Amino acid sequence: MNMIFTLTLRNLLSNKKRTLLTLLTILLSISMITAILCGGWSLVDFLKEKEKVYGGDYHYYMEDLTWQQTQELYSQNNVDQVSLLRFAGNSFYGEKSNSTMLSIGEIDENFTQRFSLNQYLLAGRFPQDENEIVISESFLKKNNMNTEIGDTISLTLGSRIWDEYNAQLSGLTNYRGEEESFVPTKEKAYVVVGILSDVNDSKIAANYNAFAGVDKTASDFAAYVKAKNLSNSIYTEAEEVAAAVDSHVAKFHSELLVYHGITGGKGAAKLIALVVMVICLLMAASASMISNALSISLQERIKQMGMLSSIGATKGQKRLSVYLEAFLLGVVSIPLGLVVGILLSALLLSVVRAAFGETFTFGIVELSLKINGLILLVSGLSGIASLYFGSRKPVKQAAKITVIEAIRQSNNEVSKKKFRDGKIVSLVFGI
């Protein structure tokens, strides 16, 4: 064992050009795997964070809850945060039109955080009770209002009814003129505590251009629930939580759950199968590159293998020599491949971000490199597997080399008609 190890190490050191070439081949294959996996993980992380900003950081929500029911949610199994939203009503500032229409939503502090509303705040703060309000800057400008923070604004809240269908119009649905009626319900005075930009980039908050604090006496809250721990059982757990507070799950945040690897039905299994298939394809390509590099190395060591056979080396010992060579090369190239792969991924992402900035920049979220320990572990293990499978063919070839074959070089015949040498080939391979 010591003799084979020493002989293999000396062979690597004495053939520096070929060793360097083999190292670069292995390093390239490992860095390719690492760059693709890190880049893919970074893209998934960007899409996940984008969905949190755009659609909200929650996993499912319930509707038509009382304040008491929303507070009972916190005592349920696997509930981390509850964000509250309530449609307080519409109001018109003067003559009825789209420009004068206010859609007021009541929100709590958790909703502000989980739906990333702070990025839209231009001045002031968000409301802390039902008597405070933040209003969009565009509404104030359209109606030539000189309202400032600290001023009091009186509004007539009510419901918009589409007369033909006797249906209520909510949010910022376009004003339908004579086709709709406005039914006032109450007069409300608010203290303006903040000014907002338009929240059009938010999937849910875009229905409103003004936000007040929650009215704890109301009974029609929407509760957006974020779970403590995510697993495929989230669907069952959510229904159990809803039943415990005498409600039902209105909808799951499927767009966000899928980025956590959680989907209904067989979606998760298909997603995992796709990832495994990609990794296997990368490993196959890497193994092929490594196999070719080690085969070239073996051709230069045929005499050495013959010498080992002449002194009684077994097939297992000759196989061990190739495995040792692969191991020594892997010890150096795999860590370097991980580092180079990370750098390549960072470079690729920066190029993509520069070329498609609007696509890969969304509000406070930007596509950037995300390094995950599990991804590096998978990359490293994939590199080890590629190195192992890539060395299988040269190992079998090494075991078959006999003394006579080493003398005759019978397994390394090259047709003179097909062989062409050159300066680059001579420089790299020493031919």
In sequence order, which residues have a C-beta less than 8 Å from that of residue 243 and are 6 or more positions away?
none
CB 154 within 8 A of CB 188: yes
Mean pLDDT for the stretch of residues 367-387: 86
pLDDT band at 235 (very low <50, low <70, confident <90, very high): very high
Partners of 159 in the β-ladder: 183
CA distance 148 to 360: 36
CA distance 291 to 335: 19
CA distance 160 to 98: 12
Q: Is the dihedral of CA 335, 337, 342, 346 positive or negative?
A: positive
Please tell me the predicted confidence (pLDDT) of residue 265: 55
Please tell me the predicted confidence (pLDDT) of residue 340: 93
pLDDT tens digits for range 283-332? 787 777 777 777 766 666 666 666 666 666 667 776 777 778 788 888 88
Query: What percent of the chain has pLDDT above 70?
Result: 83
Give the CA count within 13 Å in the CB-facing half-sphere of 260: 21
Please tell me the predicted confidence (pLDDT) of residue 131: 96
Residue type, 110: N
Helix (H, G, I), strand (E, B) or coil at 182: strand
Mean pLDDT for the stretch of residues 116-138: 95
Partners of 212 in the β-ladder: 106, 133
To the nearest 5 percent, what fractions of the chain are helix, strand and coil? Answer: 55, 20, 25
